[in-house]
C-alpha cells in the first residue's frame, strides 16, 4: 500500500475522494487503485483487519481485483457481464479469500445466467469444479445441489477411501474442494444412492432366484418361459461384473 499521486497513468480511480492507494499485481504490470478504505472495511472483515491492524497480503491479479473494487464501491455499471469462465472464477476466489462474498449479490443474477451456459459446456472435472465454486460464491443453491448430485453419481472410491473422479483424480486435490466444505455432502449422497441401488438389487435378486418373472404386465410374457435358466446366468453375470454384492442380502 502506497500513497502516490493520482495523476500517474497507471492509476485507476474508484473513488475520487478515496483515502487509500493499493498497488495490485506483479511489479512488471502493477496498477495503482485509488479507493475508499471505509468501503473496503464495510465490504470485508479481512480488509478491515488489513487496514486497521497489522496484516500484510500478497498482490492479487489485476483484472479480477478491478471488478471487485468496482462492486465494492457500488460502480455496478462498470462491472462486466460477459466474463470468461476463468475470470469469473478468479473474482470468486478473491471474494472467498477476503470474505467479501456478499458483495457479489447485486451481480449474482446476471452472472448466474452466464454460469448456466458454462456448466452446460463443461465436461472436464477441473472446469466443472470451478463452475461449482462460482455457483457457491454467487449463492446459487439450486445449481450447487444439482452439481453436487452429478458429481456424487460419477465419482468412486479408491483403496484409501478417497473420492475419485475422472478415473484417478482425487476430489480433495482440486482447488474447489479445498475452498468449500462439500466433500462430506458428496460422500453422504453417494452412500444414500448406493443404499437405494442395493435395496432395489436385492428385490430383483429375490424375484430371479425364486424363478419369478420380473415383468408383471397382463398377457403372455416371454420372461416366464425363460425363467428356468435365469438364476444361474444371473448369479454368474453379477460375479463376472463384480457387482454381486448389490444383489445379495
| pLDDT tops 60 at residue 4 | no
User: How confident is the model over 165-202, as pLDDT tens digits?
Assistant: 887 889 999 999 999 999 999 999 988 888 887 777 77
Highest mean pLDDT, choosing among 7-16, 25-34, 140-149, 231-240:
140-149
pLDDT score of 187: 92
8 A C-beta contact, residue 111 and residue 83:
yes
Q: What is the mean pLDDT of residues 57-83?
A: 78
Mean pLDDT of 66-76: 85
The mean pLDDT of 138-157, rounded to a whole number, is 89
Mean pLDDT (whole number) for 5-28:
71
Separation in Å, CA 60 to CA 6, 38, 52, 93, 186: 20, 20, 19, 10, 31
Give exposure, 36-47, as e/b (b: 16+ Cβ within 10 Å): bbebbbebbebb
More reliable by pLDDT, 163 or 23: 163
From CA 19, how far away is CA 183, in angstroms rounded? 42
- What percentage of the chain exceeds 90 in pLDDT? 13
Q: Is this structure's pTM higher than 0.75? A: no
Q: DSSP assignment, residue 28?
A: G
Q: With 90 as the cut, is the pLDDT of residue 19 above it?
A: no
Cα 71 to the center of its chain, rounded Å: 22
C-alpha distances (whole Å) from 198 to each of 103, 192, 238 are: 45, 10, 13
pLDDT score at 60:
55
Structural contact between residues 76 and 70, judged by C-beta atoms closer than 8 angstroms: yes
C-alpha span between 68 and 137 (Å, rounded): 13
Indicate whether 127 pLDDT > 80.
yes
Q: Residue 208 — φ and ψ, nearest 5°?
A: -70, -50
The answer on pLDDT for 11 being more than 90 is no
CB under 8 Å to 228, separation ≥6 — which residues? 211
Alpha carbons 75 and 1: distance in angstroms, whole number: 22
Domain boundaries in the chain?
Answer: 1-78, 80-180, 181-249
Mean pLDDT throughout 39-61? 66
Backbone angles phi, psi at 165, to 5 degrees: -140, 155
b/e for 116-131, b at 16 or more Cβ within 10 A?
Answer: eebbeebeebebbbbb
Grid cell in block for residue 12 = 485507476
- From CA 97, how far away is CA 91, in angstroms rounded? 10
Averaged pLDDT of the chain = 77
Q: What is the mean pLDDT of residues 49-68?
A: 67
Amino acid at each position: 500500500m502506497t500513497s502516490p499521486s493520482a495523476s500517474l497513468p497507471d492509476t485507476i480511480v474508484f473513488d475520487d475522494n478515496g483515502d487509500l492507494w493499493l498497488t495490485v499485481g506483479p511489479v512488471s504490470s502493477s496498477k495503482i487503485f485509488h479507493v475508499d478504505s471505509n468501503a473496503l472495511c464495510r465490504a470485508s472483515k479481512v480488509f478491515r483487519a488489513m487496514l486497521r491492524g497489522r496484516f500484510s497480503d500478497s498482490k492479487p491479479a489485476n483484472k479480477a481485483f478491478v471488478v471487485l473494487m468496482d462492486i465494492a464501491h457500488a460502480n455496478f455499471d462498470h462491472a462486466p457481464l460477459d466474463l470468461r469462465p476463468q475470470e469469473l472464477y478468479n473474482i470468486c476466489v478473491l471474494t472467498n479469500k477476503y470474505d467479501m462474498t456478499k458483495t457479489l449479490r447485486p451481480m449474482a443474477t446476471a452472472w448466474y445466467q452466464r454460469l448456466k451456459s458454462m456448466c452446460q459446456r463443461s465436461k472436464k472435472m477441473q472446469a466443472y469444479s470451478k463452475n461449482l465454486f462460482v455457483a457457491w460464491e454467487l449463492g446459487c443453491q439450486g445449481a450447487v445441489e444439482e452439481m453436487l448430485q452429478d458429481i456424487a453419481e460419477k465419482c468412486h472410491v479408491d483403496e484409501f477411501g478417497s473420492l475419485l473422479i475422472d478415473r484417478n483424480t482425487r476430489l480433495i486435490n482440486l482447488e474447489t474442494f479445498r475452498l468449500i466444505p462439500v466433500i462430506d455432502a458428496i460422500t453422504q449422497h453417494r452412500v444414500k444412492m448406493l443404499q437405494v441401488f442395493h435395496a432395489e438389487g436385492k428385490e430383483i435378486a429375490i424375484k430371479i432366484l425364486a424363478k419369478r418373472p420380473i415383468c408383471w404386465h397382463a398377457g403372455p410374457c416371454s420372461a416366464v418361459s425363460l425363467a428356468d435358466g435365469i438364476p444361474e446366468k444371473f448369479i454368474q453375470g453379477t460375479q463376472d461384473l463384480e457387482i454381486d454384492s448389490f444383489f445379495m442380502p
